Amino acid sequence: MGEDAVIQGHRVTRRSWDVAFTAQPEEVTHLRSAVRIHLTAWGLDDQVDTAQLCVSELVSNIVTHVGTGTPGSLALSTDGERLRVEVHDPDTRALPTLVDAEIDAEGGRGMALVAALADRWGVQVHDDHKVTWCEFAVAASAAPEGEPSVERADALLDVYATLKPPACSYDRESGRVRRRVEEESVI
């Protein structure tokens, strides 16, 4: 899960995590929760809101511009200086762009929001897929290096990332139940 490195005189653990998903509007919520859990476990609490918002925008772009049901993956990584968020999808033609959205437009602001929040962002086009990414500067990880509880939490999060949440219908009442089940399963 981690690999030690020395950056600016501090020992830092490189961390990474990734998960496959199917582009559906409801997946955005699950991915945001996973981002929160991982960044908190890595001691990057101050990056949670920004990273979650960028993940929402990048994944929503796949749903909107590539299509519902498209296979994708989300990857997070940090080296102690930068947090990198990557969203992979198979369509090399639908490239994210910055547009000037009209004030009353219902969409078109996603990548402008990512560009405003991230220190830098870009798209890498490969033969069979593209990677839309953004990066944020972070302070050295607050999580203690080599701490057994952090290592166990990382391993547990990887296990839960492979599991699908229990099926619950999503209305007002079961929505609360579903959220509680998800939280308890992680805890």
Long-range contacts of 13-16 (CB under 8 A, 24+ apart): 13/80, 13/141, 13/143, 13/145, 13/146, 14/77, 14/78, 14/79, 14/80, 15/42, 15/76, 15/77, 15/78, 15/141, 15/154, 16/75, 16/76, 16/77, 16/78
pLDDT tens by residue, the chain, 187 residues? 455 444 455 556 789 999 999 999 999 999 999 999 999 999 999 999 999 999 999 999 999 999 999 999 999 999 989 999 999 999 999 887 766 655 554 555 678 888 889 999 999 999 999 999 999 999 754 444 555 555 665 665 565 555 555 444 444 444 445 555 455 444 4
pLDDT value, residue 136? 95
Q: Name the 3-class secondary structure at 13.
A: strand
Q: Give the Å distances, CA to CA, from 166 to 37, 67, 131, 181.
A: 18, 25, 30, 8
Q: Collect all residues with Cβ–Cβ distance below 8 Å to 15 and sequence separation of at least 6.
A: 1, 2, 42, 76, 77, 78, 141, 154
β-strands 82-89, 130-137 pairing: antiparallel
pLDDT value, residue 168? 43
What is d(CA 162, CA 19) in angstroms, rounded to the nearest whole number? 8
pLDDT value, residue 159? 57
What is d(CA 5, CA 13) in angstroms, rounded to the nearest whole number? 6
The rounded Cα 99 to chain-centroid distance in angstroms is 23
pLDDT value, residue 14? 87
